[in-house]
Amino acid sequence: MKKLLKVIGILLFLFLAVLIAIPFILESKIDTIVQNYAHKNLNADLSFDDVNLSLISSFPKAEVSVENLKITNRAPFMDETLATAKSIAFEMPIGQLFKDASKPLAVNEIIANELLLTIKTNQNGSVNYDILKEQEGPKTDGDASSSGFRFDVEHYEVTNSAFTYLDEESNTQFHATEINHYGNGIFSGEKSELETKTETKVSLSVDSTNYLDNTKIKLEALIDLSLEDNKYTFRENKGFINALPLEFEGFVQLVESGQQIDLSFKNPESSFKDFLAVIPKAYSKNIENVNTTGNFTVNGRIKGLISDETIPTIDISLSSNNASFKYPDLPKSVDNIKIDASIKNTTGNVDDTYIDINELNFKIDDDSFKSEAHLKNITQNMLVSANLDGVLNLANVTKAYPVTIENQLSGILKGKLNTVFDMNAIESNAYQRIKNNGSVSLTDFIFSSEDIVNPIQINKATMTFKPGVVTLNNLNAQTGKSDFYATGQIYNLLGFLLSDKKLQGDFKVTSNNFSIEDFMVEDELATENSNKTTQDTESLKIPDFLDCSIYANAQNVFYDNINLKNVSGKLRIKDQSANLSEMTSTLFGGKLGINGNVTTNNSKPSFDMQLAMQQFDISQSFNDLELLKALAPIAKVIQGKLNSTINISGLLDKDFAPDLSTVSGNALAEIITSNIDVSNSPLLANLDAELNFIDFNALQKNIKTKLVFNDGQVSVDPFTINYKDIPIEVSGSHGFNKNMNYKAILSVPAKYLGSEVNRLIGQINDPEVNKMAIPVTTNISGTFSKPDVSTDLASAVTNLSKQLVEIQKQKLIGKGKDKLNDLIGNALGGNKNAKKTDSAVAKGDSIKTNTTEDKVKEGVKNVLGDILGKKKSKKDNKKQDSTKNN
């Protein structure tokens, strides 16, 4: 007995050792079989990490598993992945492993884990799953066996897997995720029975329209298989779409031209809760405790041939009558629900599929809403015909149905509208094919969104719909600090509402108070404790969805710290750009004209403007406008009026104000002063100390100049101002950082140069000498607040005195007239143009000054044009000429 047990123990040990050792010997054989199969049969690249063989865990069968399998396409889908699997396991009798490598293996069980399969059809109609090589010549038994496998499956599983179908020709996408499917049966007999169970979530979109969105599907099916004629008959089948149960029966048969289908289905219950179950849970929430009344029925049949040219006929109907529902945690209920809808195709031509929603009615509180719609040609250029009639309190939507609306929404919507259109008309803005008739009104509407800074409150709005155009009869609204009243026409309202089209139209807008910031948008979410929806650190944006022209008239427009009054003009908005034309305003006691462009479609907003300023109050404008402060800081001490034209371009900062470090352009300016306050200007005070013979409070009251600015520097063309009979030519530049580099050249008559000079002139007693004036150069550097002023006045006086002494000496010794004239000329600096300048000053002329003045007037006129009002009468012109002469 001991010997027997010992022998049995040794045999068991040897058997166990063989089971352990065989896999190491046979794995290379299986690897060879798999590689041979792929090479001979697949027009694709097959790769995997490893092949494992186990005999113990599956005894008396063998289990072969392939890890990290991947199938990669070749042209025309080069390097695209067709399928991957974390593991695929095959179970077979152990005896199959000892067959010759040229013989096929019989597989009884297949288990695939994390299988990802992507089926694709490109624009040319090519498919990525056509990877089997064509076999040359007639098939023989030997050929059949050459594949390396023979499937005699009794059980299969697909776990934690996903399937994707992409059709670029029809713009169709189908996704099935979280697939768990198993089947038990025998496939090798002529007739067999397959028991299956499937759970997955599916999404379907056709031409960018979502028909299913992560909808949960369950299916338990008992299928009779007739492998001889490829017919699969469904019996005792029950499925679920979300929580909606469906029973179905019929068959699918594979035929040479496609698949022959005859399936009918219905819901076994008639509760309205079944209808709510069809709606994705993300929208319907938990319906278990919802109270419902009324019925709901679904019946359908799909019958016919699926082929390249045809689809089965379809007859699906949905109906409900006098139904209601109420969510237990919501205050309102939806009552008097009536649904009568159907999906049909009677010809088998896919283009003949149509959807009829004959009735879709409901009531919330006392508000009733009725609608119907008919959709044809749904797979191509869908034709839509719809009627809407009713009243809807928008605030009650979230009180009766658990829909999450990110933006605040309230107001009363009343409408009676009929619309007929095709989708291509919306996409191509073919307004003549969009037939709208009816009217819609909205009252007490409040809307907020991250796309706008403040909630928009529409007190009242009415629209009339006619073919091709929607007329905005009136709009009374407010947002933030702004109020506005509008009328106009909208050309593509449906395109804006139903697709990604921009809102196109022409509008006339009037306003009492209009704040620019109330109508700008930003990119990020708002900071805490702010009713703005964006961060202050982000730059403002012009809304991208606008493509319209606005004719505006506003009493007050607020921009930054500026209050524009009596604003009128045209605004053209498109592609995040705003073009302003014929824009005028009352500002700083004068008139402002604007033409130009602002765009925010780049990383930083930019502008390019032409400005005309007429009769601006200098002290006020140079105090409130950063641009003018930077162009002429000294002007803040001047009281008077400013006429100017400015051409300027650059970037805008986060507050939508010009970034002075980026601006460039030029300006022509005429400053008409009435007073200069020297005490408020360190620069003028220093000049006053250096040039004590000039009273800067009595400088010329009219100054004209030209500026050019770029890279933070302002260059001033030479211009001349006058103090009594002293012309002063000024030129130079300064930076926006207030650093200066200026030069002033004064032609100073000798009478201002002290008693010694005047005594010498008196002794000479010559008419030419009596009119003598010398140039005095003043250099100005430093900053406007800490100027550095130096002059050559002392040396000029010394040199003049020496020359006067020499003239007197030569006169006393009786030199000739020519010699004296040369000496006098040298004393005057030998500059005949100085006399010409003195003469011009005496006459009040200056060629350069007049040219600048003419350019200022011409520039203001060009920008303002005729938009300042009606042409003046002759009487007005005479009055103006009289005022000018005075």
Q: CB neighbours (10 Å) of residue 15?
A: 10
- State the DSSP H helix or E strand holding residue 678, giving kind and residue range, or none if neither: none
Q: What is the 3-state secondary structure (H, E, C) of 269-309?
A: CCECHHHHHHCCHHHHCCCCCCEEECECEEEEEEEEEECCC
Contact 320, 295 (CB under 8 A): yes
Instruction: Report domain extents, the chain.
Output: 1-132+147-169, 242-405, 587-864
- The amino acid that residue 826 corresponds to is N
pLDDT score of 286: 72
User: What confidence score (pLDDT) does residue 465 get?
Assistant: 84
Helices (H), 428-492: none
Most confident of 343-347, 567-571, 734-738: 343-347
pLDDT greater than 70 at residue 86: yes
pLDDT of 860 strictly over 60: no
Q: Closest Cα to residue 522, out of 571, 454, 574?
A: 454
What DSSP state is assigned to residue 135? P
174-183, 460-469, 735-744, 868-877: segment of lowest average pLDDT: 868-877
711 vs 117: which has the higher pLDDT: 117
Q: Give the tens place of pLDDT for each residue, 41-55.
A: 788 888 888 777 776
| Among the ranges given (235-249, 486-500, 755-769), the one the predictor scored with the smallest mean pLDDT | 755-769
Q: Coil, helix or strand for 430?
A: coil
pLDDT tens sequence across 251-297: 998 888 888 999 998 888 778 887 887 776 666 677 778 888 888 88
Query: Distance between CA atoms of 551 and 569, rounded to whole angstroms?
Result: 6
Top pLDDT among 806 and 375 is at 375
Given a contact cutoff of 8 angstroms between Cβ atoms, the answer to whether 349 and 376 are in contact is no
- Phi, psi torsion values for 839, nearest 5 degrees: -65, -40
Instruction: Give the span between the Cα atoms of 300 and 545, in whole angstroms.
Output: 42
What's the rounded mean pLDDT across residues 671-690?
Answer: 69
For the chain, the first-to-last Cα distance in angstroms comes to 145
Q: Predicted confidence band at 97 (pLDDT cuts at 50, 70, 90)?
A: low
pLDDT of 140 higher than 60 = no
pLDDT at 6: 53
User: Which distant-in-sequence residues (6+ apart) come within 8 Å of 614 by Cβ?
Assistant: 590, 591, 592, 593, 643, 860, 864
Please report, rounded to a whole number, the percentage of residues in the chain having pLDDT higher than 90. Answer: 12
Pairing between strand 409-422 and 191-206?
unpaired
Cis amide prior to 775 (ω within 30 degrees):
no
Given this model, what pLDDT does residue 786 score?
84
Which pLDDT score, from 0 to 100, does residue 800 have?
72
What pLDDT digit, counting tens, does each position of 588-637 carry? 888 888 888 888 888 788 888 888 888 877 777 777 777 777 777 766 66
d(CA 855, CA 669): 9
Pairing of strands 503-515, 546-559: parallel
Q: How far apart are CA 586 and CA 617, in angstroms?
A: 11
Q: Is 871 helix (H, G, I), strand (E, B) or coil?
A: coil
List, for residues 452-498, the tens digit of each pLDDT value. 677 888 899 898 888 778 888 998 988 888 888 989 888 877 667 66
Half-sphere exposure of residue 230: CA atoms within 13 angstroms, side-chain side:
9
Quick one: pLDDT at residue 700? 62
The pTM score is 0.57
Per-residue pLDDT at 529 = 39
Average of per-residue pLDDT across 774-799:
80
Closest CA to 234 of 243, 242, 246, 244: 246
Beta bridge mates, 202: 176, 215
Residue located via tokens 């009733």:
368
Report how far residue 442's alpha carbon sits from residue 447's, in angstroms, rounded to the nearest whole number: 12
Q: Which of 703, 542, 584, 560 is nearest to 635 (CA)?
A: 703
Q: What is the pLDDT of residue 355?
A: 93
Q: Which of 3-7, 471-475, 603-607, 761-765 has the lowest mean pLDDT?
A: 3-7
Q: Which residue has the higher pLDDT, 433 or 191?
A: 433
DSSP string of 475-542, one letter each residue: EEEEETTEEEEEEEEES-HHHHHHSS--EEEEEEEEEEEEEGGGG-B-SSPPPTT-SSSS-TTSPPB-
Lowest-pLDDT choice from 380-384, 617-621, 727-731, 744-748:
617-621
pLDDT at residue 183 greater than cutoff 70: yes
Give the confidence band of 528 by pLDDT, cuts at 50, 70, 90: very low
Element (H, E) at 379: none
Cis-peptide, bond into residue 455, ω within 30° of zero: no
Going by pLDDT thresholds of 50, 70 and 90, the confidence category of residue 830 is very low
DSSP 8-class letter at 653 = -
Helices (H), 543-671: 618-624, 626-631
